[in-house]
Amino acid sequence: MPTDMGPRARVTAMTAFGRGLYLALAPVAGRTGMLWRLDPATGDWDAVLHPAETDTGGGQGRRRPTAAAALAQVTDLVSGPVAMAVFQGAGDAAPCLYLAMQGPGGASLLRSTDGRDFVAVLTVPANAGYLNFAALAVWGDRLVMTSGAHRPGPAAAEGPLPRCCVLGSRDPVRADTWEVLSEPGFGDAENLAITALAVHQGRLCAGTANPVAGFQIWACAAGASDWSCLMNQGGSRYGMNPEVALLVSHQGDLWIGTAMEQPRIATIDWSPAELLRIESDGVWELVAGEARLTPQGLRLPLSLLGPGFEDPGVTRLGAIAAMTDGHLVVGGGPLAGLWLSADGDMWEPLLQDDGDDDIAGGVTAITAALGRVWIAMDGRLFTLGAGA
């Protein structure tokens, strides 16, 4: 990564588009987020999306030849990109890069045909009462994303879009084609946000943030409008599994990584994150986490490892990718951790952070693209083997 990306740079999403690898950086400590592009062939970095233009709750993107001046600017409106997807809508001549932006300045969905110039296709101003578009996914012929506020706040006035819903469009460049695909919070007011999306066995799956009762996983079949609940109560870990940080389909299983960003009680690390999966028969298994009794039966960690892969500093397992040889690699934070598995059950640590430097959040994104596995960790970018 370019050295002027800043020591606190936190990558929120990565994706390949065209011949480049795109990194979305979150705003940190008053600095706005931005988008970088790497040309793997030359190793050159390009600051694609200038933060100043992202602060208006959407706005236009401009190509900037250098990033140094851009990073020096700090504005009051701090927003940043959180999710990306490559999708060719009904009205597109070719696949486009879509970027979901969030922040107090408002929420927006940006689109680029060339990976350099971006236009806002959907914008929700700050006074709409909610803060973000959180996740993006491609589901058949639709681009889907989620709306919702991640933190409880003042009662939200209804804006142009309802809160905590799944939205979808076959032609996302046209704002009037966006449809609401789910009930707010799937009918549960304690679901504060839909934090993750994945397409699994043809169904669109969504993971929620529910700090009172624990995360939920919902699924909707292609062509249908009804959602069914695949999992709730945080897998019987309730408020200690409040949020889905990763949701990925891999070899017939739906993988779930949890996150908890709650204040501590006393001095105890309350809730290192867990890794779970819903298998092809619909039964969920605990891969790394806390043994417990559940309505579905006793759950013991298949990996024999507790929450956080035995590291109490890992309160978010939010990144996963598959390698070409079938290995899975999972990353967590804020204390950086990286684990590898050949069979999905037994995991070996590739890296575990012994320090207390959680400035940039550990491993925040992993993607298999352009023949490699890219790992964003603590403001740096690494590669590992060959990506699937």
Partner 1 sequence: MPEPLFILCPGRSFSSVVCAVIGQHPQCYGLPELYIFGADTLGEVLELWKRAGRTSLIGLERTLAELHDGKQTEETILGARAWIRANGHMTSAMVMEHIQELVGKDRILVEKSSGFGMDGSGITQAIRSYPRASFIQLLRHPRSRGVSNKKAVDDNKMMRMFGLLSGTDQDYEGRWTNKHIQIHELSTRLPPGQLIRIHGENFLRDITVYLPQICEWLGIRADAEAIAAMMRPEDSPYSCVGPANAKGGANRGFLENPVLDLDRMARMKDPTLEAPMDWAPDRHFSDTTRMLAHYYGYR
Binding site for partner 1 (CB under 8 A): 211-214, 233, 236, 238-240, 262-263, 265-266, 268-271, 290-295, 297-298, 300-301, 304-306, 310, 312
- CB of residue 145 to partner 1, shortest distance in Å: 28
Nearer to partner 1, 19 or 292 (CB): 292
Q: Which residue has the tokens 């932006």?
A: 101
Nearer to partner 1, 113 or 262 (CB): 262
Contact 119, 127 (CB under 8 A): no
- CB of residue 303 to partner 1, shortest distance in Å: 9
- CB of residue 314 to partner 1, shortest distance in Å: 13
- CB of residue 240 to partner 1, shortest distance in Å: 5
Maximum pairwise Cα distance, the chain: 57
**How far lies 325's CA from each of 188, 264, 276, 328, in Å?**
41, 40, 22, 9
- CB of residue 190 to partner 1, shortest distance in Å: 9
Nearer to partner 1, 288 or 320 (CB): 288
Nearer to partner 1, 213 or 340 (CB): 213
Nearer to partner 1, 94 or 293 (CB): 293
Nearer to partner 1, 117 or 269 (CB): 269
For residues 330 and 156, give the distance between their C-alpha atoms in angstroms, rounded to a whole number: 36
**How far lies 296's CA from each of 99, 230, 236, 284, in Å?**
38, 12, 9, 8
Nearer to partner 1, 43 or 263 (CB): 263
Could you count the other beta carbons within 10 Å of the beta carbon of residue 167? Answer: 22
Nearer to partner 1, 284 or 374 (CB): 284
Residue 17: which of 92, 86, 119 has the closest Cα?
Answer: 86
Nearer to partner 1, 270 or 382 (CB): 270
- CB of residue 310 to partner 1, shortest distance in Å: 8
Nearer to partner 1, 286 or 323 (CB): 286
For residues 297 and 13, give the distance between their C-alpha atoms in angstroms, rounded to a whole number: 35
- CB of residue 268 to partner 1, shortest distance in Å: 5
Q: Which residue has the tokens 């400590």?
A: 29
- CB of residue 206 to partner 1, shortest distance in Å: 22
- CB of residue 351 to partner 1, shortest distance in Å: 21
**How far lies 24's CA from each of 16, 117, 314, in Å?**
12, 15, 22
